[in-house]
Amino acid sequence: MTEPLLDVRDVEVRYPGRGLRSKGFLALRGVSLDIREGETVGLVGESGSGKTTLGRAILGLAPVTSGSITYRGREISGLPRRQRRTLSDQIQVVFQDPYSSLNPSMTIEAILSEPLTVRGGAGREARDRIAELLDQVALPSDAGRRLPREFSGGQRQRIAIARALALEPRLIVCDEAVSALDLSNQKRILRLLTEIQEDSGVSYLFVSHDLAVVRHVSHRVAVMYRGEIVESGDGDTVTSDPEHPYTRRLLLAAPVPDPDLQARRRRERAALAARENHERTV
């Protein structure tokens, strides 16, 4: 049995509140999760469930107040900024909003060279690498001289993916990476991510509110609810035959694009709600 690439153990994140007496907001209540080499772990939940916070904690952008996050056996939570920076060629990110995740005043080339300059790549080398990256995400090679606003949402997300790939990381946190995209773009970007994984063996933590998307890309799936993981396991099982009542509610709540199936699902959901109501009153 190989050691996981990333191991999250009993992580708690508490955001400080305003004022002295405020206890702050407990966003994660002891969450455990692991990701192996070349694996996609889907993390699904509704707004406020803490799924984004878990991603940010792994990236070092959220305050981990207890528990541990180890990457290849090395503790990485609570690292000082300087040491954290050495992880930039290991763990990377693709954010949800392809509009605010790219600086609007920087050219694509400047955006993509940013991680490269950190590593200290020379000018020519960096240019070659940028051309390679643009090719990898199927963007035209003259894209480098243009500004983000000249690209559509789907193309911007490709740029964000290219930036994440620049340093050849082993883990990419995809935070709602396709949620802002139209259906057809969504499917194309998911295919791109899968291809990259098959070529390079990178791992993904795929954070999304959409059970169908998570089911499509993930080897394993974890479901979050109110700062806790309520159910996790094999992707197919969790997303089609879940055990936890919340996951079941989540599954039945998403309308399926088939009038007859949806009518049945609606009845099942009504039955489940009635049963839960009954149990609560009894």
Partner 1 sequence: MTQETAARRHAPGRGRGLPARLLANPATALSLAFLFLVTLVVFGGEPLAPRDPNHSSLHDILVGPGGDYPLGTDGAGRDVLSRLLVATRISVLAALLALAVALLLGVAGGMLAGYYGGWFDTVSTWLTSLVMSLPAIVVLLAARAVLGPSVWLSMAIFGVILSPVFFRLVYSLVSSVREELYVDAARVSGLGDARILGRHILAVVRAPIIIQAAIVTSTAIAIQSGLEFLGLGDPSVPTWGSMLNEGFANIYRAPMLLLWPAVAIALTSVALAVLANTLRDELEGGARPAGGPQTAEDGPRETAHAPVRHRPEETGTGRELLSVRGLRVGYRTPAGVREVVHGIDLSVDRGEVHGLVGESGSGKTQTAFAVMGLLSRGGRVLAGSAVFEGNDLLAGGEADRARVRGRGIGYVPQEPMSNLDPSFTIGSQLVEPLRVCLGMDRRAARARALGLLERVGIPDPERTFSAYPHQVSGGMAQRVLIAGAVSTEPALLIADEPTTALDVTVQAEVLDLLRDLQQDLDMGVLLVTHNFGVVADLCDRVSVMRSGHIVESGPTREIFRDAEHPYTQSLLDSILDGGSARGPLAPTDRKDVDR
Residue 153 interacting with partner 1 (CB under 8 A): yes
Q: Output the smallest distance, CB 220 to partner 1, in A.
A: 6
Q: Output the smallest distance, CB 46 to partner 1, in A.
A: 4
Residue with tokens 């763990």: 91
Stretch that binds partner 1, among 68-76, 84-92, 124-132, 133-141 (CB under 8 A): 84-92
**Amino acid symbol at 234:** D
Closest CA to 239 of 255, 223, 225, 226: 223
Residue with tokens 């490269």: 116
Neighbours of 158 (CB within 10 A): 24
Identity of the residue, 134 or 169, whose beta carbon is nearer to partner 1 in the bound complex: 169
Residue 85 interacting with partner 1 (CB under 8 A): yes
Residue 258 interacting with partner 1 (CB under 8 A): yes
Footprint on residues 164-223 left by partner 1 (CB under 8 A): 166-167, 182-187, 190, 209-213, 215-220, 222
Residue 163 interacting with partner 1 (CB under 8 A): yes
Footprint on residues 218-257 left by partner 1 (CB under 8 A): 218-220, 222, 229, 232-236, 239-240, 249-250, 252-257
Residue 81 interacting with partner 1 (CB under 8 A): yes
Footprint on residues 44-73 left by partner 1 (CB under 8 A): 46-47, 56, 59-61
Residue with tokens 């791992």: 203
21 Cα distance to chain centroid? 33
**Amino acid symbol at 92:** Q
Footprint on residues 107-146 left by partner 1 (CB under 8 A): 114-115, 118-119
**Amino acid symbol at 117:** T
Residue 160 interacting with partner 1 (CB under 8 A): yes
Euclidean distance between the first and final Cα of the chain, in Å? Answer: 47
Please identify which residue in 66, 141, 152, 277 interacts with partner 1, judged by CB under 8 A: 152
Q: What angle do CA 194, 129, 206 make, to 5 degrees?
A: 25
Q: Output the smallest distance, CB 191 to partner 1, in A.
A: 11
Q: Output the smallest distance, CB 162 to partner 1, in A.
A: 12
Q: Check: CB of residue 265 under 8 Å from CB of residue 252.
A: yes
d(CA 243, CA 37): 27
Q: Output the smallest distance, CB 218 to partner 1, in A.
A: 6
d(CA 100, CA 96): 9
